[in-house]
Structures are given as structure tokens and as C-alpha cells.
């Protein structure tokens, strides 16, 4: 049963420190990492998180982050004039806070689907590679246990059906296992039981700062003999894409295009060497 004090706390604006710490949580930082970055004790960080959860009416850290985004407390321009402690004389945020908030905003864009068109453009470039028949990009959901299909091109079987579902749980099938194990995998066959054209599919997880961002899937033609070096090449490319997708600054489409062009050159060179 809630007390009058807790009822008064719920709905109150977050303090500057509470927003700062939730911003770090949104970017995937642990409590220990936040404590180190802000030069606070782990218990102080936990106290701020508990207070923020109480004000937001959240039952978990993940829900607190989601509610803070909805209230524009983090990730946007909301409530920048909250109840800052008197010791915070300046109005400028620290570099760590700015970076954390930017990453949180980038992750919010991924979760809301606002980055799906950018991923489709990236996939278009990948599918234009020699001997690549189609591709799919999955993004990790907020719960960290599910992957959402964000972009797809080609890959239809002889009946016109796409073999990748709209959502996949971690550990489910080859795609889910690749995401869970966080390493590239090659599967002979496109994954569709009705498609016997001898294609192969490469699954490359996108990892940034140790956290799963999503998975890039490429289906190659039978004429393409994929070696271990190409698996490692696609894995390195996927990790770079993941870093760009959750990064705080810069022109994301331009950076993805530059990364794609470099990958295209490496992929072509690998094809010539095979």
C-alpha cells in the first residue's frame, strides 16, 4: 500500500541528477559504470534510480527509462529547468551527460521505428553487392529478449513469401542463436523449407559497447562461396553499423554510407580472392 508521501512523489519532476542517471541507463550503462562516470558511490546511484522510479511510477529500471522518454524528461528538450541541486551552478550539461542523452535518443529512434528508412537504404546498398540475393535487418527490442524486423529486401522464396518472421526471440532458430551468441554464422539454405535454390544466409549481430543492437542477415547465391574471412568481414561491418546507429552525434546516413562503401570494396576484394 502506498503512503501519502509516495503518492506525492509520484508524478513529481525528476531532478537533474535523476535525469542524468536515467540517460546513462538508456544508453546501456550499468550502475557501476554510471557511478564511475559521475564519481558517485554505487549506493548513491541506486538511490537516485529508486527515487526516479518512484516519481515515474515505474516497477523496473527499463520501465523508468521508457516513462522518462514519454515525459520528455530524457532524450529531448523536456524540463531542463528541474530541481537542480544548488551545487550545480552552471546550466551546461557535462560531456558525459550530453553523450549519454544523445545515445538514449538514438536508441529511442531505433525502438520507435524512426530509423527504419535509414536501415532500408543501407540494405539496398548491401543487396546490390555481387552474389547477394536479399537481406534483412533486425533490431533488438527494449526488453533485450526480442528482435524486430526493421527492413527487408529480396529474399522471397518461390511462393513470394519471406522466411524471416516479424519478430524473433533470442535463442530462437539460427537468427536468434546468432544474436544470443553474438557472433556471425553461416547457414546453407535461405531458411525457407520451400526454397530449394541452394542459397546460403549469413547472420551478423550488431554489437555496440557489449550490447546487442540488432542482426544483419544476407542471403547469397549458390555461386558465392563464403569463407571464414568474409564472415569476420561482415561481423566487423555489422558492429560498425551498430555503433553508428546508437552514437550520439554526426550525420548518421552519411556515416553509414561511408561505412558501406568501405565494406563494398572489401567484399569485392574477398570475392576476387576466393
pLDDT in tens, 86-138: 333 344 455 555 555 555 666 666 666 667 788 888 888 888 776 788 889 99
User: Helices 252-273 and 228-245, interaxial angle, to 10°?
Assistant: 180
**Neighbouring residues of 112: CB distance < 8 A, sequence distance ≥ 6:** none
- Sign of the CA dihedral running 22, 23, 24, 26: positive
- What's the pLDDT at 211? 86
Q: According to the model, what pLDDT value does residue 194 have?
A: 44
Rounded CA-CA distance 97/145 in Å is 27
State percent of the chain over pLDDT 70: 69
Identify whether the C-beta of residue 197 lies closer than 8 Å to the C-beta of residue 184: no
Domain boundaries for CATH 3.30.450.40 within the chain: 116-273
pLDDT band at 79 (very low <50, low <70, confident <90, very high): very low
DSSP summary character for residue 164: S
Spatial contact of 75 and 100, defined as CB atoms under 8 Å apart: no
CA distance 26 to 168: 22
Question: Is pLDDT of 58 > 70?
Answer: yes
CATH 1.10.150.120 fits 116-273, yes or no: no
Does the pLDDT of residue 32 top 50, yes or no?
Answer: yes
> Domain 4-77+94-111 falls in which CATH fold?
Arc Repressor Mutant, subunit A (1.10.10)
Beta-carbon contacts of 95 under 8 Å, excluding residues fewer than 6 positions away, are none
Span(s) in the chain for CATH 1.10.10.10:
4-77+94-111
pLDDT of 161 reads 45
User: What is the pLDDT at residue 250?
Assistant: 67
| DSSP SS3 for 263 | helix
The neighbouring-strand residues paired with 153 are 135
User: Are the C-beta atoms of 204 and 238 separated by less than 8 Å?
Assistant: yes
Amino acid at each position: 500500500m502506498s503512503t501519502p508521501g509516495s503518492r506525492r512523489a509520484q508524478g513529481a519532476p525528476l531532478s537533474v541528477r535523476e535525469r542524468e542517471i536515467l540517460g546513462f541507463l538508456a544508453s546501456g550503462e550499468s550502475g557501476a559504470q554510471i557511478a564511475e562516470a559521475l564519481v558517485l558511490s554505487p549506493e548513491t546511484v541506486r538511490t537516485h534510480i529508486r527515487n526516479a522510479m518512484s516519481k515515474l511510477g515505474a516497477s523496473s529500471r527499463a520501465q523508468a527509462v521508457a516513462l522518462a522518454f514519454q515525459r520528455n524528461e530524457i532524450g529531448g528538450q523536456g524540463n531542463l529547468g528541474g530541481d537542480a541541486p544548488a551545487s550545480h551552478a552552471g546550466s551546461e550539461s557535462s560531456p558525459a551527460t550530453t553523450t549519454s542523452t544523445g545515445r538514449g535518443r538514438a536508441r529511442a529512434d531505433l525502438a520507435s521505428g524512426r530509423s527504419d528508412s535509414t536501415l532500408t537504404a543501407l540494405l539496398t546498398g548491401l543487396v546490390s553487392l555481387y552474389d547477394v540475393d536479399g537481406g534483412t535487418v533486425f533490431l533488438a527490442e527494449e526488453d533485450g529478449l526480442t528482435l524486430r524486423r526493421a527492413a527487408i529486401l529480396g529474399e522471397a522464396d518461390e511462393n513470394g513469401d519471406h522466411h524471416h518472421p516479424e519478430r524473433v526471440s533470442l535463442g530462437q532458430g539460427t537468427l536468434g542463436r546468432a544474436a544470443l551468441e553474438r557472433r556471425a554464422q553461416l547457414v546453407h539454405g535461405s531458411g525457407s523449407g520451400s526454397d530449394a535454390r541452394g542459397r546460403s544466409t549469413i547472420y551478423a549481430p550488431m554489437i555496440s559497447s557489449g550490447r546487442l543492437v540488432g542482426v544483419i542477415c544476407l542471403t547469397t547465391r549458390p555461386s558465392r562461396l563464403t569463407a571464414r574471412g568474409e564472415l569476420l568481414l561482415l561481423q566487423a561491418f555489422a558492429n560498425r553499423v551498430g555503433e553508428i546507429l546508437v552514437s550520439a552525434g554526426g550525420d548518421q546516413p552519411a556515416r553509414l554510407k561511408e561505412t558501406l562503401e568501405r565494406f563494398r570494396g572489401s567484399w569485392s576484394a574477398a570475392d576476387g580472392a576466393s
